[in-house]
């Protein structure tokens, strides 16, 4: 335990014990263990996934030694899957390791249920036709699929999951939800215990800014028929009213109050992403609804019936200049309110569960609590199928051509690829003539090679996205990620 905690210390600080537990429960299948696949899996093995299985039919050749660190010259002529498997096992002995010496395509044809036992399949360097079938198979079996491909100085990463729900999306800029504009009775009562015009100078400069703002806002409302300041003139007046309470210029709590005054008239709003989650058709609950959607339905009920359209309070307050015990008491007022909100949502969850004849305790309070804490940042991602994305026929032709290695003269390839590109683009209504010839020659020159530094980047991104989807933390890529090492550019396309 201590060893495990030490080894994973730096990453536990990102995704926590529960994130690590999710990784340790994950069973990952890697299709093809060239440099891109090996790099991706290496990063996941270091992170401590539960187990992995490598599917690759090939043998280690001299060329592999030049771009794949997970095979060595001693492995020449041996099974590549076995060699990579053995070396990965060395990196982290607590990870279960298996390999299958078969081609992924053949396995997909002969034994599609093979994939059902995995949490995640990572398909690398696979042609689109097989990928489309794999995507279908994985969706049927509710297995997550991640596609990665390095191609010369370019590469792509694509997630294929029917629906991926994220509770802990961990946004870059979490907002403070202080309800300064709408204090609930307990907060009001707490605020009333303070005299923001206290004569004692030290007392005066140690009242937390939230209390100052609630007081001034309540006074404002009383003087303005219950309205909050609106428009720049009133806002300036409001700030002046705060400023007027200062007793000297270096009161840090007043500086904070002025800097945060906007929170009174601009409380956090409900994002369009959250709106679309709340309005999603899946929120109509039936007996096969997932826990996530039951929680969303309960949240919606809470907002409509219990909270005047507001989200549950998350209970967190920012640092404030204050006496420690004032701060702790204020914090408790917020935390108590958050707990009460959780209880209200919990009651809704129970009533929904009863309605669909499920055990009313089957969603734990700790899950509900975590959901409420993150309610503002819920995300639902749905990935269209690869079949949809690749419906124009010409796409197959491009892939086939690209996958052919060195069998034709380069110039011929350039011409053929150009023709195919133009056809494809015209088919889907784009002016095909606009494609750059340089780009096409560049792609032919790549000849399907996997360059290690590109594989390192693409494998790194693939494993990073894998961790996001396995831990259900952070928002993963929403479309096809394309990396161009020539120009150092990257983009995410939602095709």
Enumerate residues 116-175 that contact other proteins by CB under 8 A.
152-153, 170-173
Task: Write the CA distances from 70 to 40, 66, 90, 102, integer angstroms.
Answer: 11, 11, 11, 19
Q: 4 or 25, CB closer to other proteins?
A: 4
Binding mask 439-458 for other proteins (x = CB under 8 A): ------xxx-x-xxxxxxx-
Least Cβ distance, residue 90 to other proteins (angstroms):
7
Residues 221-250 that bind other proteins (CB under 8 A): none
**Per CB under 8 A, 39 contacts other proteins:** yes
Q: 117 or 201, CB closer to other proteins?
A: 201
Q: 156 or 294, CB closer to other proteins?
A: 156
Tell me, by CB under 8 A, how many residues bind other proteins: 83
Token couple for 431: 């002016």
Least Cβ distance, residue 47 to other proteins (angstroms):
6
Residues 87-106 that bind other proteins (CB under 8 A): 90-92
Least Cβ distance, residue 296 to other proteins (angstroms):
22
**Per CB under 8 A, 10 contacts other proteins:** yes
Q: How far apart are CA 144 and CA 494, in angstroms?
A: 18
Residues 287-316 that bind other proteins (CB under 8 A): 316
Q: 57 or 171, CB closer to other proteins?
A: 171
How many CB atoms neighbour CB 259 within 10 A? Answer: 10
Least Cβ distance, residue 107 to other proteins (angstroms):
27
- Of the residues 28, 274, 467, 469, which one makes contact with other proteins according to CB under 8 A: 467
- The answer for residues whose C-beta is within 8 angstroms of residue 483's C-beta and 6 or more apart is 154, 155, 156, 157, 454, 457, 458, 461, 489, 490
Q: 209 or 483, CB closer to other proteins?
A: 483
The piece of 7-15, 53-61, 76-84, 384-392 that touches other proteins (CB under 8 A) is 7-15
How many CB atoms neighbour CB 262 within 10 A? Answer: 14
- Of the residues 3, 248, 288, 407, which one makes contact with other proteins according to CB under 8 A: 3
Q: How far apart are CA 30 and CA 124, in angstroms?
A: 8
Query: Are 346 and 312 in contact, with CB atoms under 8 Å apart?
Result: no
Task: Write the CA distances from 277 to 6, 161, 280, 296, 378, integer angstroms.
Answer: 38, 17, 5, 8, 7
Q: 164 or 350, CB closer to other proteins?
A: 164
The distance in angstroms from the start CA to the end CA of the chain is 45
Q: 225-229 long-range CB contacts below 8 Å, 24 or more apart?
A: 228/181, 228/264, 228/265, 229/264, 229/265
The piece of 65-73, 227-235, 270-278, 359-367 that touches other proteins (CB under 8 A) is 65-73
Q: How far apart are CA 475 and CA 171, in angstroms?
A: 8
Cross-strand bridge partners of residue 168: 473
Q: 110 or 436, CB closer to other proteins?
A: 436
**Per CB under 8 A, 42 contacts other proteins:** yes
CA 335, 337, 338 angle in degrees (round to 5)?
Answer: 65
Q: Using the 8-state DSSP alphabet, how is residue 375 labeled?
A: G
- Of the residues 14, 63, 266, 428, which one makes contact with other proteins according to CB under 8 A: 14
Q: 316 or 347, CB closer to other proteins?
A: 316
Binding mask 176-215 for other proteins (x = CB under 8 A): ------------------------x-xx--x---------
Query: Are 334 and 315 in contact, with CB atoms under 8 Å apart?
Result: yes
**Phi-psi sector, 30: left (phi>0), alpha (psi -120 to 50), beta:** beta
Nearest alpha carbon to residue 265 among 227, 208, 212, 303: 227
- Of the residues 73, 226, 231, 233, which one makes contact with other proteins according to CB under 8 A: 73
């Amino acid at each position: 335990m201590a060893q495990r905690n030490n080894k994973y210390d730096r990453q536990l600080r990102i995704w926590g014990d529960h994130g690590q537990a999710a990784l340790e429960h994950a069973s990952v299948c890697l299709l093809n263990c060239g440099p891109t696949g090996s790099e991706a899996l290496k990063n996941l093995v270091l992170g401590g996934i539960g187990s992995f299985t490598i599917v690759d039919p090939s043998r280690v050749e001299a060329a592999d030694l030049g771009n794949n660190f997970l095979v060595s010259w001693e492995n020449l002529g041996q099974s590549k899957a076995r060699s990579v498997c053995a070396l990965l096992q060395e990196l982290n002995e607590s990870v279960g390791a298996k390999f299958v010496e078969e081609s992924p395509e053949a396995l997909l044809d002969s034994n599609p249920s093979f994939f059902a036992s995995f949490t995640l399949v990572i398909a690398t360097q696979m042609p689109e036709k097989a990928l489309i079938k794999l995507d279908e198979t994985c969706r049927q079996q509710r297995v997550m699929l991640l596609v990665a491909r390095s191609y010369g100085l370019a590469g792509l990463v694509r997630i294929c999951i029917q629906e991926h729900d994220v509770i802990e999306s961990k946004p870059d800029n979490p907002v403070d939800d202080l309800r300064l504009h709408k204090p609930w009775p307990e907060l009001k009562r707490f605020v009333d215990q303070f005299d923001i015009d206290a004569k004692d100078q030290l007392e005066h400069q140690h009242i937390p800014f939230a209390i100052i703002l609630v007081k001034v806002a309540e006074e404002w409302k009383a003087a303005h028929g219950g309205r909050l300041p609106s428009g720049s003139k009133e806002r300036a007046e409001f700030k002046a009213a705060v400023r007027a309470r200062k007793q000297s210029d270096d009161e840090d709590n007043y500086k904070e109050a002025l800097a945060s005054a906007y929170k009174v008239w601009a409380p956090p709003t409900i994002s369009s992403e959250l709106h679309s989650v709340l309005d999603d058709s899946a929120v109509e609950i039936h007996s096969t609804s997932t826990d996530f959607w039951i929680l969303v339905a309960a949240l919606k009920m809470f907002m409509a019936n219990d909270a005047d359209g507001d989200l549950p309070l998350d209970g967190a307050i920012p640092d404030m200049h204050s006496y420690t015990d004032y701060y702790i008491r204020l914090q408790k007022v917020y935390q108590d309110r958050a707990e009460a909100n959780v209880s209200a949502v919990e009651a809704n969850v129970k009533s929904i569960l009863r309605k669909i004849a499920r055990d009313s305790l089957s969603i734990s309070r700790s899950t509900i609590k975590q959901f409420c804490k993150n309610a503002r940042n819920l995300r639902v991602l749905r990935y269209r199928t690869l079949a949809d994305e690749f419906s124009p026929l010409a796409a197959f032709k491009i892939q086939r051509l690209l996958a052919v290695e060195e069998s034709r003269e380069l110039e011929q390839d350039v011409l053929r690829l150009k023709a195919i590109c133009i056809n494809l683009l015209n088919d889907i209504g784009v002016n095909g003539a606009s494609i750059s010839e340089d780009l096409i020659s560049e792609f032919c020159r790549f000849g399907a090679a996997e360059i290690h530094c590109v594989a390192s980047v693409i494998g790194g991104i693939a494993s990073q996205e894998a961790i996001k989807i396995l831990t259900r933390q952070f928002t993963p890529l929403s479309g096809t990620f394309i990396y161009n090492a020539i120009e150092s550019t990257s983009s995410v396309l939602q095709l």
